Structure 1
Amino acid sequence: MNKVYSHFDRFMVFQIKQLLDEKGIPCFVKNEFAIGAMGELSPMDVLPEVWISDPQWLPKAQQFIDEFESQPIDQSPWICTKCNETNAANFELCWQCAEDRDV
C-alpha cells in the first residue's frame, strides 16, 4: 500500500479521492474521522490520507494529483448569461437569478 496524498482539509482529500476514482485508480481514505483525536495523538498521525493498494498505480496516481494541483484557480468574476449580473468567481449559481454558471 502507498500513501499518495494527505491534507488537513478533508475536502481536499476527498477531491483527490474522487479524482482518482474517476480515473479508474482504486483508492481509499485512511484516518477519515481521526482528526477528532488530535491532541491525544500527534497531528501528523490523524491527517486524512488517500492510499492506493496496488503500487503499479502509483506513477499514474501521482501524475494525476500533480496535474490537479498545478491547475490555476480562476479568480475572475463572471457574468450571468441569463440576467447579465456580475458574480464572484466562487459562485456556481448567479446570485440574482440562480442560473447555472456556463463553464
Structure 2
Amino acid sequence: MKLVYTNENLFLVANARNILEAHRIEVLLKNEFAQGAIGEISVFDAWPELWLVNDADYEKAIAIIENASSHQGAAEWICNHCCERNDASFELCWNCQSECC
C-alpha cells in the first residue's frame, strides 16, 4: 500500500477518497478518528491519510488528485441537459449526471 494523500482536514481527505473511488481506484482511509488522540500522539501522526490498495494505481491516483486540485478557482459550468450550475471540479452534472459541456 502507498500513501496517496493526507491533510489535516478530514473533509478534504474524504473528498479525495470519493474522487478516487469514482474512478474505480480502491483506497483505505486511515486515522479517520485519530484527531481525538492529539496530545497523546503528534499532531501530524493524527492527520487522516488515504492509502491505495493497489500500488499500480499510484501514478493515476496522483494525477487525478492533482487535476481535482487544479480546478480551484475555475469557472462553474452550466449543464446543457438540465441547465443546472455545477462546480468546475465536477465532470458530471450533480443533478442529472450528464457530462460536462
Interval of TM-score (by shorter of Structure 1 and Structure 2) = 0.7 to 0.9
- Structure index of larger Rg: 1
- The one-letter code matched in structure 2 to 1:102 is R
Which segments of structure 1 move beyond 3 Å, counting only runs of 4 or more? Answer: none
Q: Kindly state the Cα deviation for residue 22 of structure 1 after the two structures are TM-superposed.
A: 0.1
Q: Secondary structure at the match of 1:41?
A: coil
In structure 1, the partner of 2:5 is 5
Aligned to 1:94: none
Q: Using the TM superposition, give the Cα deviation of residue 73 of structure 1 relative to its aligned residue in structure 2, in angstroms.
A: 2.3
Deviation at 1:37, TM superposition (A): 0.4
Is residue 2:53 matched to residue 1:53? Answer: yes
% same residue: 32
Q: CA deviation at 1:74?
A: 5.1
Write out per-residue CA displacement over residues 43-93 of structure 1, whole angstroms, 9 at most, x where no aligned residue.
1111001100211000000000110111132589xxxxxxxxxxxxxxxxx
Partners of 1:29 and 1:19 lie apart in 2 by 13
Structure 1 runs not aligned, ≥5 long: 77-100
Cα RMSD after superposing both structures: 1.9
Asked if residue 70 in structure 1 is aligned to residue 70 in structure 2, the reply is: yes
**Alignment-mate amino acid for residue 68 of structure 2:** F
Q: Distance in 1 between matches of 2:29 and 2:69?
A: 18
In the other structure, the counterpart of 2:25 is 25
Counterpart residue number, 2:14: 14
TM-score normalised by length of structure 2? 0.72
Please give the alpha-carbon distance, in whole angstroms, between the structure 2 residues aligned to 1:15 and 1:44.
19
TM-score (norm 1): 0.71
Structure 2 runs not aligned, ≥5 long: 77-83, 87-101
1:55 partner letter: D
